[in-house]
């Protein structure tokens, strides 16, 4: 029987997954906005902004849920992370602020405005940076570098996250977000030219993400041994590795043969398997080697109420979200 701590940790991981699958794809779309070139550039940008316009704010709330759940359910772990990762978290926030505002300004500003291009570029750039720092932060948490580092400012607040493993996870995150976005965007347009374009982008970003996946896996050996062992020396770990592999293969096959529903479903599976693989890889630790979900958790009275709120909240939010996507995401062809 899983305890309350396990269930809440599961909820947090689920929110994080949804944030990556939905919000992450919005970042990916921003990256493609930045990279749009050639005769179709304008059409691509148009597609991207209409696709994320109505939904990005709602998608973003998953992150807020992750944060609030973390400090309600596991306050000690939250305090440690937000102290030691002050700098990358601040940079992440900067990215979030710039990206949201630039997108709003872009949509709001008159088309002819001289600043229109600037807002677009800022939106794209900050999407890229935010994705990178999100990856770096998750990578640092995974890397067991956060156990009371000592030394001066640089050792404590900088060298924990400027490390090969977190940086590789940062780049990996960029490729994954870009990949997710392109597989979704194929569904958003009826125009064959754009669909071809995003199919190509999806294949390239998939290839890049697979390469980064291999690099990250290799780096675990020296830089994040905990996760590496969790994944490779335990049968559940292997299940997730195999699921990740299946997701990669399914995405490749779907894109290659123009079965875009298969491609999208596999892309979702691929990314989900990575996140849950990470989760199981370090279970029950939040921060290795000392903070677990058991020794940092709030008392049961809080956890019970939280669980109740979560269930009630989901009963309200999930149908509403469905509504939102039904109104704006009429899947074409």
Partner 1 sequence: MIENLLAARLLMAISLGFHIIFAVAGMAMPFLMVIAEWRYIRTGREIFRELATRWAKGTAILFAIGAVSGTVLSFELGLLWPNFMAWAGPIIGLLFSLEGFAFFTEAIFLGIYLYGWNKIPPYLHLMSGVIVTVSGVLSAFFVVLANGWMNHPVGFQLLDGLPVQIAPLATFTNPIGLHETHHMILAAFVAIGFLVAGIHAFFLLRQPENPFHQEALRIALITGGLAALLQPLSGDLLARAVATFSPIKLAALEGHFHTTSGASFWIGGIPDVSTATISYGIEIPYGLSLLLHGDPMASVQGLMDFPRQNWPPLVVVHLAFQIMIASGFILMAMSVWGFWKIWRQKCLWKSRGFLRCLVGCAPLGLIAIESGWVVTEVGRQPWIIVGIMRTTDAVTPMPGLTVPLIFFTLLYLGLAGIVLWLLHRHLTVFPQTIELSGPPPRETHARS
Tell me which residue of 58, 73, 84, 83 sits closest to 13, measured CA to CA: 73
x-marked contacts with partner 1 along 78-107 as a string, rule CB under 8 A: xxxxxx--x--xx-xxx-xxxxxx-xxx-x
Given a contact cutoff of 8 angstroms between Cβ atoms, the answer to whether 225 and 194 are in contact is no
Residue 58 contacts partner 1 per CB under 8 A = yes
Nearest-approach distance from CB 59 to ligand HEM, in angstroms = 9
Rg, the chain, Cα only? 20
Span 298-327, contacts to partner 1 by CB under 8 A = 298-299, 301-302, 305-306, 309-310, 313, 316-317, 320-321, 323-324, 327
Nearer to partner 1, 76 or 265 (CB): 76
Query: Tell me, what DSSP letter sits at residue 229?
Result: H
Q: How many CB atoms lie within 10 A of CB 324?
A: 14
**Of positions 35, 41, 64, 193, contacts ligand HEM by CB under 6 A:** 64
Tell me which residue of 305, 307, 279 sits closest to 293, measured CA to CA: 279
Helices (H), 38-74: 41-52, 56-73
Nearer to partner 1, 69 or 219 (CB): 69
Q: What percentage of the chain's residues is helix, strand, coil (to nearest 5)?
A: 80, 0, 20
Nearest-approach distance from CB 22 to ligand HEM, in angstroms = 13
Instruction: Kindly write down the DSSP assignment for every residue of 270-283, as one continuous string.
Output: HHHHHHHHHHHHHT
Residue 218 binds which entry of partner 1, ligand HEM, none, CB below 5-8 Å type-dependent: none
Give the whole-angstrom CA distance, residue 46 versus residue 249.
31
Residue 79 contacts ligand HEM per CB under 6 A = no
Residues near ligand HEM (CB under 6 A) are 57, 60-61, 64
Residues near partner 1 (CB under 8 A) are 53-55, 57-58, 60-61, 63-65, 67-69, 71-73, 75-76, 78-83, 86, 89-90, 92-94, 96-101, 103-105, 107-110, 153, 157, 298-299, 301-302, 305-306, 309-310, 313, 316-317, 320-321, 323-324, 327-328
């Amino acid at each position: 029987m899983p305890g309350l701590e396990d269930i809440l940790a599961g909820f947090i991981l689920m929110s994080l997954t949804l944030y990556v699958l939905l919000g992450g794809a919005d970042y990916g779309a921003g990256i493609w906005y930045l990279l749009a070139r050639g005769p179709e550039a304008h059409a691509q940008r148009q597609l991207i902004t209409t696709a994320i316009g109505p939904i990005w704010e709602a998608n973003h709330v998953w992150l807020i849920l992750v944060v609030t759940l973390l400090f309600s359910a596991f306050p000690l772990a939250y305090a440690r992370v937000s102290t030691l990762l002050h700098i990358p978290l601040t940079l992440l926030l900067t990215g979030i602020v710039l990206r949201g505002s630039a997108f709003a300004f872009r949509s709001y500003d008159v088309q002819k405005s001289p600043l229109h291009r600037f807002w677009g570029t800022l939106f794209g750039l900050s999407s890229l940076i935010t994705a990178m720092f999100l990856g770096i932060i998750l990578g640092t948490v995974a890397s067991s570098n956060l156990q009371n580092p000592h030394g001066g400012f640089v050792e404590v607040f900088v060298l924990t996250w400027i490390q090969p493993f977190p940086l590789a996870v940062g780049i990996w995150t960029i490729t994954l977000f870009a990949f997710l976005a392109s597989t979704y965007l194929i569904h958003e347009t009826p125009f064959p030219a754009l669909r071809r374009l995003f199919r190509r982008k999806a294949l390239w970003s998939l290839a890049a993400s697979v390469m980064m996946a291999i690099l990250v896996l290799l780096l675990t050996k020296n830089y994040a041994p905990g996760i590496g062992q969790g994944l490779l020396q335990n049968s559940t770990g292997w299940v997730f590795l195999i699921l990740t592999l299946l997701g990669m293969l399914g995405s490749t096959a779907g894109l290659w043969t123009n079965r875009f529903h298969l491609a999208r479903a596999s892309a979702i599976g691929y990314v989900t398997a990575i996140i849950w693989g990470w989760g199981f890889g370090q279970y029950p630790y939040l921060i290795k080697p000392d903070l677990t979900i058991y020794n940092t958790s709030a008392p049961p009275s809080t956890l019970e109420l939280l669980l109740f709120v979560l269930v009630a909240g989901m009963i309200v939010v999930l149908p509403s979200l469905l509504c939102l996507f039904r109104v704006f995401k009429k899947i074409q062809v």
